[in-house]
């Protein structure tokens, strides 16, 4: 067993340092396709998170029986099979939820962040830690998509979390807010070009925060060394 990272590192990596969308640039296709609203971003993020936890746990528990040569096709088959099963079960027994999440679930198969975590983490670490990594990565993915959806929705449609009640139930209707007067948004932000623009802005924003934090850390160690 190689040295395993601490749970704290795993959480930090998944949420920020190595954020799937903003750090590793993985899963950009679903990130841009569904984030026309914050609600959609949240729905896609949560569905992906559930799949990540399950696929990481499954692949980690099978890691000793999968040889290097065929690991990628094996992971793909396992992930695609699992997502399809989840899709069918939701459709059959949780049909109302399926009607809301249905469009997202099939898209998860093509999310390379899921395969990325299987390859980079779950194939080397214990099942429990891998499941936790899936949770952290999934939360980071959800965070990135929700922020991206919020940015596009506010600038494009002037609303925030519009129709959240369709995804989360009537109790969450309070999330729905109007930020700008109706129809004053810049339409292109919710069209595909806005996806690229919002993604670029968010990646740049994260880099800027990261650099600032790095500079401060460097200044701090420099000051300590001077003493």
- Which residues are near other proteins by CB under 8 A? 1-2, 36-37, 40, 63-71, 73-74, 77-78, 81, 84-85, 88-89, 91-93, 95, 99, 123-124, 153, 156-157, 159, 162-163, 166, 182-183, 185, 187, 190-191
C-beta of 19 vs 123, nearer to other proteins: 123
Q: Which is nearer to other proteins, 29 or 89 (CB)?
A: 89
Closer residue to other proteins, CB minimum distance, 182 or 226: 182
DSSP 8-state secondary structure symbol assigned to residue 2: P
CA torsion through residues 81, 87, 92, 94, sign: positive
Q: Are strands 159-160 and 177-178 parallel, antiparallel or unpaired?
A: antiparallel
Question: What CA–CA distance (Å, rounded) separates 8 from 44?
Answer: 25
Give dist(CA 137, CA 148) in Å, integer. 16
Q: What are phi and psi of 178, to 5 degrees?
A: -105, 120
> CB 102 → other proteins: shortest distance, Å?
11
67 or 224: CB nearest other proteins = 67
Nearest residue (CB) to other proteins, 12 versus 71: 71
Shortest distance, position 8 Cβ to other proteins, whole Å: 22
Other beta carbons within 10 angstroms of residue 220's beta carbon come to 10
User: How near is the Cβ of 60 to other proteins at its closest, in Å?
Assistant: 10
Closest approach of other proteins to the CB of residue 214, in Å: 30
> What's the length of the chain?
227
Q: What is the distance of C-alpha 67 from the center of its chain?
A: 28
- For residue 6, the minimal CB distance to other proteins (Å) is 18
């Amino acid at each position: 067993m190689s040295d395993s990272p601490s749970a704290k590192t795993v959480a930090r990596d998944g949420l920020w340092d190595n954020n799937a969308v903003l750090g590793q640039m993985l899963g950009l296709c679903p990130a841009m396709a569904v984030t026309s609203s914050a609600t959609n971003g949240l729905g896609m993020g949560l569905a992906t998170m559930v799949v990540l936890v399950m696929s990481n746990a499954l692949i980690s528990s099978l890691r000793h029986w999968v040889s290097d040569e065929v690991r990628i096709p094996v992971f793909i088959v396992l992930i695609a099979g699992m997502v399809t099963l989840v899709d069918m079960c939701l459709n059959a027994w949780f049909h109302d939820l399926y009607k809301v999440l249905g469009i997202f679930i099939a898209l998860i198969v093509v999310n390379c962040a899921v395969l990325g975590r299987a390859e980079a983490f779950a194939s080397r670490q214990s099942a429990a830690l891998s499941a936790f990594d899936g949770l952290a990565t999934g939360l980071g993915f959800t965070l990135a998509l929700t922020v991206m959806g919020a940015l596009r929705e506010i600038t494009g449609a002037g609303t925030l979390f519009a129709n959240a009640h369709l995804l989360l139930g009537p109790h969450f209707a309070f999330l729905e807010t109007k930020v700008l007067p109706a129809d004053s948004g810049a339409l292109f932000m919710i069209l595909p070009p806005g996806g690229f623009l919002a993604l670029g802005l968010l990646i740049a924003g994260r880099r800027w925060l990261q650099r600032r934090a790095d500079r401060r850390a460097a200044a701090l160690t420099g000051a300590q060394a001077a003493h």
